C-alpha cells in the first residue's frame, strides 16, 4: 500500500506569506529564489509556455542545474503537451529532470480516466521558500486564443516561508515519485522506496536548516505586498486519493461561518449543490456575498455552462460581477476580512472532482485585507455587475446555449462516475 498524503496546519507565528499579483510580481520573485537555490528546486505547473516570460524561468532552471542544484519540473500533458525541441535538449544537457504528466495521446480525450489533470502551480526551493497559486508559466499579456491583451490576466499567488513549506515539499516529492518511479518498481519494493525518499527529504531539510540564513530572503519579501508575519496557514490539497473534497470543504466551512462578508473571485465557476446552498444561506442571514467571475468569452463550456446557476444566486441577493478588463484567472476568496485562500482550484467540476489542486488557506487580517482591496479594485475598475432583471430577460437563444453547455458538463461527469 502507498502511504497516505497529509495536510497540516503550520505553527502560528512562524509563517511569512506575501501576496503576489500576476506574473509581473510572481516571476521576478520566482527567478530570484531559483537563482539563489543551493540544493533543490521542484516546480509543478499546468502550462509552461516558452514565451519571453516563460524563458526567464526556464533559463533560471538551467542555471540552477548547471551549478549542481537538483531541479525537478512537472508539467501537465494537456496544458503543456510537448516541449520545444530546443528546450528539451537544454533541460537534458543541464540535468533538469522534467516530466509531462499523462499526455492525452491520440485517444486520450475520449477516455474518461485520462481526464484527471495536474492543475496545481507550486514551486519549492531548498525546502525553505514555497510559491503556490493560480499563475501558469506564461506571459500575462498574451493569450493563445486571442493574441495580445491590453490588460494582464487577473491572477494571484503567494510566496511562503515557514513550516508550511515542508508540507509543500513532501507533496511535490510524493507526486514526482508516483509519476516517475512507482510504475517502474515491483509492488513489493514500493514501501521501501517511499521510506527511502522520506528519509532523503528529512535529511535534506535538516542540512538546509543548518545552513546560513538566506541572504536574498529580505529582498524577495519586498516584492508584491508586504509579507503577513506570523500568519496561520495551511496547505489544502485535492487529489484522487485521500484529499478528494478538502478544498471544497474548506470553502464550505468558511462560507458557513461567515458573519459579514464573502468575496470570491473564480475563473471557472460552476459550484455544486452544496456550495450553491452555502452561498444562498449566507446571503439569507445577511452576509454580503460578492462573486467576481469571468466576463470574457474563452471556452464555450466555461462561458455558457456556468450561467444556469446565476439565477438562484441573484434571487438570493448574491452580487455577481463579471470581470471584462482582461481574462480573469484567479482562484481566491476572502471571508470576514480574516480568512483568505489563494490557489489553483476553480469552483467547477474539473477542479473539485478530477484535477490535482493546491490552495493555501491563510488566517491573517493584514493578508486578507490586502487581497480584499485588490479584488474590490478589480470589481470597480474592470467589472460589471450582473443585473438580476436583465439576466432574467435574456434571450431564449442564450438560455438554450447555457443548457446545452451545462448538459455536456453533466454528461462528462457521468462518464467518469461522478455526481455533482
Mind listing the pLDDT tens digit for each residue in 62-80?
A: 999 999 999 999 999 999 9
Q: Which of 119, 167, 239, 348 is catalytic?
A: 119
Q: Which of 15, 121, 304, 321 is catalytic?
A: 121
pLDDT tens sequence across 164-178: 999 999 999 999 988
Residue predicted with more confidence, 172 or 9: 172
Cα separation, 303 vs 322, whole angstroms: 11
Buried b (16+ CB within 10 A) or exposed e, 116-125: bbbbbbbbbb
Q: Which of 15, 304, 321, 331 is catalytic?
A: 331
The whole-chain average pLDDT of the chain stands at 86
User: SS3 of 344, please?
Assistant: coil
pLDDT tens sequence across 291-317: 999 998 887 887 888 888 999 999 999
Select from 228, 238, 193 the least CA-distant residue to 345.
238
Q: Is 331 a catalytic residue?
A: yes
Confidence category of residue 136, pLDDT binned at 50, 70, 90: very high
Q: Which of 15, 304, 321, 329 is catalytic?
A: 329
For residue 200, the model assigns a pLDDT of 60
Grid cell in block for residue 135: 499563475
Select from 1, 40, 49 the least CA-distant residue to 176.
40
DSSP strands (E only) in 77-184: 97-101, 121-125, 129-133, 142-143, 147-148, 156-161
Whether 188 shows a pLDDT value over 50: the answer reads no
**Residue 342 DSSP symbol:** E
Cα separation, 249 vs 216, whole angstroms: 37
For residue 2, the model assigns a pLDDT of 30
Whether 146 shows a pLDDT value over 80: the answer reads yes
Backbone angles phi, psi at 291, to 5 degrees: -115, 130
Domains of the chain: 15-221 (3.30.870.10), 237-415 (3.30.870.10)
Could you tell me where the DSSP H helices lie in 17-84?
22-35, 52-66
The residues pairing with 294 across neighbouring beta strands, listed in sequence order, are 323
Confidence category of residue 338, pLDDT binned at 50, 70, 90: very high
For residue 216, the model assigns a pLDDT of 42
Q: Is 126 a catalytic residue?
A: yes
Count the Cβ atoms, other than its own, within 10 Å of residue 352. Answer: 23
Q: Is 119 a catalytic residue?
A: yes
What's the rounded mean pLDDT across residues 92-111? 84
What's the rounded mean pLDDT across residues 83-89? 97
Of 174-188, 194-208, 244-258, 372-386, the one with minimum mean pLDDT is 194-208
The residues pairing with 170 across neighbouring beta strands, listed in sequence order, are none
Q: Is 329 a catalytic residue?
A: yes
Cα separation, 266 vs 306, whole angstroms: 11
What's the rounded mean pLDDT across residues 3-28? 69
Select from 87, 80, 156 the least CA-distant residue to 117.
80
For residue 11, the model assigns a pLDDT of 37
The model carries a pTM of 0.87
Q: Is 253 a catalytic residue?
A: no
Q: Which of 76, 126, 239, 370 is catalytic?
A: 126
Contact 51, 84 (CB under 8 A): no
47: exposed, middle or buried (Cβ count in 10 Å: 0-12, 13-18, 19+): middle
Contact 194, 178 (CB under 8 A): no
For residue 215, the model assigns a pLDDT of 39
The residues pairing with 261 across neighbouring beta strands, listed in sequence order, are 288
Contact 330, 267 (CB under 8 A): yes
pLDDT tens sequence across 343-398: 999 999 888 888 999 999 999 999 999 999 999 999 999 999 999 999 999 999 99
Contact 224, 18 (CB under 8 A): yes
For residue 234, the model assigns a pLDDT of 94
224: exposed, middle or buried (Cβ count in 10 Å: 0-12, 13-18, 19+): buried
Cα separation, 275 vs 254, whole angstroms: 11
Confidence category of residue 1, pLDDT binned at 50, 70, 90: very low
Q: Which of 139, 336, 348, 370 is catalytic?
A: 336
For residue 240, the model assigns a pLDDT of 76
Write the secondary structure of 154-166 as one string of H (helix), E (strand) and C (coil).
ECEEEEEECCHHH
Query: What size, in residues, is the chain?
Result: 420
Whether 217 shows a pLDDT value over 50: the answer reads no
Amino acid at each position: 500500500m502507498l502511504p497516505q498524503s497529509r495536510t497540516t496546519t503550520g505553527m502560528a507565528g512562524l509563517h511569512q506569506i506575501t501576496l503576489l499579483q500576476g506574473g509581473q510580481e510572481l516571476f521576478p520573485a520566482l527567478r530570484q529564489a531559483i537563482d539563489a537555490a543551493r540544493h533543490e528546486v521542484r516546480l509543478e505547473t499546468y502550462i509552461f509556455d516558452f514565451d519571453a516570460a516563460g524563458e526567464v524561468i526556464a533559463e533560471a532552471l538551467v542555471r540552477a542545474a548547471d551549478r549542481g542544484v537538483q531541479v525537478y519540473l512537472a508539467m501537465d500533458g494537456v496544458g503543456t503537451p510537448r516541449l520545444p525541441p530546443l528546450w528539451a535538449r537544454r533541460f537534458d544537457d543541464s540535468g533538469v529532470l522534467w516530466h509531462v504528466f499523462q499526455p492525452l495521446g491520440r485517444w486520450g480525450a475520449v477516455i474518461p480516466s485520462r481526464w484527471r489533470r495536474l492543475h496545481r502551480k507550486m514551486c519549492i526551493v531548498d525546502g525553505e521558500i514555497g510559491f503556490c497559486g493560480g499563475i501558469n508559466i506564461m506571459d500575462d499579456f498574451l493569450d493563445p486564443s486571442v493574441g495580445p491583451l491590453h490588460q494582464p490576466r487577473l491572477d494571484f499567488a503567494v510566496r511562503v516561508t515557514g513550516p508550511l513549506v515542508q508540507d509543500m515539499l513532501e507533496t511535490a516529492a510524493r507526486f514526482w515519485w508516483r509519476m516517475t518511479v512507482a510504475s517502474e518498481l515491483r509492488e513489493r519494493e514500493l514501501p521501501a522506496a517511499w521510506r527511502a525518499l522520506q528519509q532523503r527529504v528529512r535529511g535534506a531539510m535538516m542540512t538546509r536548516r543548518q545552513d546560513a540564513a538566506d541572504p536574498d530572503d529580505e529582498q524577495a519579501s519586498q516584492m508584491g505586498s508586504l509579507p503577513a508575519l506570523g500568519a496561520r496557514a495551511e496547505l489544502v490539497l485535492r487529489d484522487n486519493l485521500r484529499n478528494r473534497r478538502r478544498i471544497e470543504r474548506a470553502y464550505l466551512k468558511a462560507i458557513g461561518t461567515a458573519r459579514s462578508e464573502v468575496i470570491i473571485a473564480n475563473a471557472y465557476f460552476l459550484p455544486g449543490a452544496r456550495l450553491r446552498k452555502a452561498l444562498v444561506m449566507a446571503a439569507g442571514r445577511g452576509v454580503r456575498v460578492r462573486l467576481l467571475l469571468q466576463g470574457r468569452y474563452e471556452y464555450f463550456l466555461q462561458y455558457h455552462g456556468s450561467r444556469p446557476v446565476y439565477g438562484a444566486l441573484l434571487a438570493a441577493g448574491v452580487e455577481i460581477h463579471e470581470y471584462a478588463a482582461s481574462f480573469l484567472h484567479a482562484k481566491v476568496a476572502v471571508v470576514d476580512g480574516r480568512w483568505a485562500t489563494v490557489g489553483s482550484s476553480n469552483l467547477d467540476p474539473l477542479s473539485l472532482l478530477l484535477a490535482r489542486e493546491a490552495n493555501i488557506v491563510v488566517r491573517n487580517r493584514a493578508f486578507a485585507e490586502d487581497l480584499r482591496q485588490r479584488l474590490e479594485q478589480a470589481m470597480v475598475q474592470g467589472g460589471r455587475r450582473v443585473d438580476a432583471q436583465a439576466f432574467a430577460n435574456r434571450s431564449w437563444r442564450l438560455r438554450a446555449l447555457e443548457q446545452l453547455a451545462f448538459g455536456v458538463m453533466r454528461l462528462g461527469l457521468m462518464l467518469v462516475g461522478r455526481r455533482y
